[in-house]
Homo-oligomer: A and B are copies of this chain.
Amino acid sequence: MLVLSSPSGAGKTTLSRRLLQDDRDIDLSISVTTRTPRPGEIDGSDYHFIDVGKFDAMAKNDELLEWAEVFGNRYGTPRAPVLASLKAGRDVLFDIDWQGTQQLREKARDDTASIFVLPPSMAELERRLSMRAQDDAQVIRQRMAKAGDELSHWAEYDYVVLNDSLDRAFADVKTILAAERLKRARQPGLSQFVRGLVGKA
């Protein structure tokens, strides 16, 4: 399980989409949320947009791996699709915030690699948020305040990638994923392979 977190506007969603296009062995975990879709967002692709009643029922029935409330809206990770991907030997990518990451690491620390994406500067972050036509000035101010909160949790992540250039940041994310796949604990066939080698020694 690979987690990408960053303040809104620092590039984690762009990096996630690029990784999904580039790598055929990883699935995106699509969160459920009670917030209203933004213009251009597609239900079932960006999020599963559900109402509060349905969300609370999922949380109550332990159908969410993690969930949190941000600006009065709830966000959560449905458990079933994640388990299905992992069972099929596939990796799963999470585009979630620090609250979700903490919960995920509590549940499956050894199976999780987490990356925090840093913006080059707060001015650049604000510029990127302002370019999103869908957010009004008040939402941008809210998101800038939340950015400071999100940034304060950078030290809880395994890796940190600076997004001063999208191409370089993407190369860093790919490098991390490739190295994580070389970790002994993530190569399930190894034990049998080495037993075969040693048996012939």
Contact surface of A with B, Cβ cutoff 8 Å: 116, 118-119, 121-123, 144-145, 147-148, 151-152, 154-155, 157-161, 172, 175-176, 178-180, 182-184, 187, 190-191, 193-194, 197-198, 200-201
Name A179's contact: one of B176, B193, B194, B197 (CB within 8 Å).
B176
10 contacts between A and B (CB under 8 A): A118-B197, A122-B197, A144-B201, A151-B201, A154-B184, A159-B183, A160-B183, A172-B182, A176-B179, A176-B182
A179 CB contacts on chain B under 8 angstroms: 159, 175-176, 178-180
Contact A160 B184 (CB under 8 A): yes
A197 CB contacts on chain B under 8 angstroms: 118-119, 121-122, 151
A157 CB contacts on chain B under 8 angstroms: 184
